[in-house]
């Protein structure tokens, strides 16, 4: 069964709506751990729109499970990651005007810059993952520049409108997983995964980790973070591929 990384950014989004001290994403991380999260994921954006430097520091000191930092390959953020040493850094594209991370990192286009960032982070002993679209040239380029893992963008699946589009997106992900493994990468998945759409994705063999944020934080409003995480873990277990 794939590991579950819980993205707590949107707890900080609610806090920042009032620029106050609650809800605290640090508490959310602790509650997520108590609900069975295998990892805590956060995105330190250049504009600090939700998670801030204090959050990143305190998460590093308090999270006992795998800590995954999503980040752009930007000098300031790379320097912070090198100092904090999260267990894993996931490189994502970042545009200030976007609502959330939209689509994957273009490793092919930004190859030299990405390769330098991967080398710097790996030199600090950090596992490095590329958030990319499930297309062959991006997967092959990710292996070539030295990533340990890829996180396949599941947005095309999540945004599909028809059963045919959805089934097609699942097959694209299946092929992406196979190619990722063939070129020696660990394969993760994330973006837009919810309690309602996770089943066919959880059933795909080969995903080692899912990073899920918005849906879990949304559910936590009604049932609490601990229970929201437990429910998602139950679904991952229920639909996990059986040998």
Residue 68 as a binder of ligand PXP (CB under 6 A): the answer is no
**Site residues for ligand PXP, window 100-139 (CB under 6 A)?**
100-101, 131
Contacts of 116 (CB under 8 A, 6+ apart): none
Would you call 123 exposed, middle or buried from its count of C-beta atoms within 10 A (0-12, 13-18, 19+)? exposed
What is the dihedral sign for C-alpha 213, 211, 195, 63? Answer: negative
Q: Which of 211, 219, 232, 235 binds ligand PXP (CB under 6 A)?
A: 211
186 is annotated as an active-site residue: no
Q: How far is the CB of 242 from ligand PXP (least distance, A)?
A: 25
181 is annotated as an active-site residue: no
Residue 147 as a binder of ligand PXP (CB under 6 A): the answer is no
Of 28-36, 74-82, 116-124, 188-196, the window that binds ligand PXP (rule: CB under 6 A) is 188-196
Nearer to ligand PXP, 90 or 117 (CB): 90
Cβ pair 201, 193 in contact under 8 A: yes
Kindly list the catalytic residues.
Answer: 43, 70, 191
Task: Return residues touching ligand PXP (CB under 6 A).
Answer: 7, 9, 43, 70, 90, 92, 100-101, 131, 151, 190-193, 211-215
């Amino acid at each position: 069964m794939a590991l579950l990384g819980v993205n707590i950014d949107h707890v900080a989004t609610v806090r920042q709506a009032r620029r106050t001290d609650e809800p605290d994403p640090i508490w959310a991380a602790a509650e997520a751990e108590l609900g069975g999260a295998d990892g805590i994921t956060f995105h330190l954006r250049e504009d600090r729109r939700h998670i801030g430097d204090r959050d990143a520091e305190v998460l590093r000191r308090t999270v006992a499970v795998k800590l995954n930092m999503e980040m752009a390959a930007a000098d300031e953020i790379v320097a912070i990651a090198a100092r904090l040493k999260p267990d894993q850094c996931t490189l994502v594209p970042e545009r200030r005007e976007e609502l959330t991370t939209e689509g994957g990192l273009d490793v092919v286009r930004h190859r030299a810059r990405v390769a330098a960032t991967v080398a710097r982070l790996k030199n600090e002993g950090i596992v490095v993952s590329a958030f990319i679209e499930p297309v062959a040239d991006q997967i092959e380029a990710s292996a070539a520049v030295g990533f340990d893992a890829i996180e396949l963008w599941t947005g095309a699946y999540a945004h599909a409108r028809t059963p045919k589009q959805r089934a097609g997106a699942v097959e694209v992900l299946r092929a992406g997983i196979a190619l990722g493994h063939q070129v020696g990468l660990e394969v993760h998945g994330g973006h837009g995964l919810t309690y309602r759409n996770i089943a066919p994705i959880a059933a795909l063999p080969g995903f080692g980790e899912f990073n899920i944020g918005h849906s879990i934080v949304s559910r936590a409003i009604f049932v609490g973070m601990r229970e929201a995480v437990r429910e998602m873990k139950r679904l991952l277990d229920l639909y996990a591929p059986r040998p």
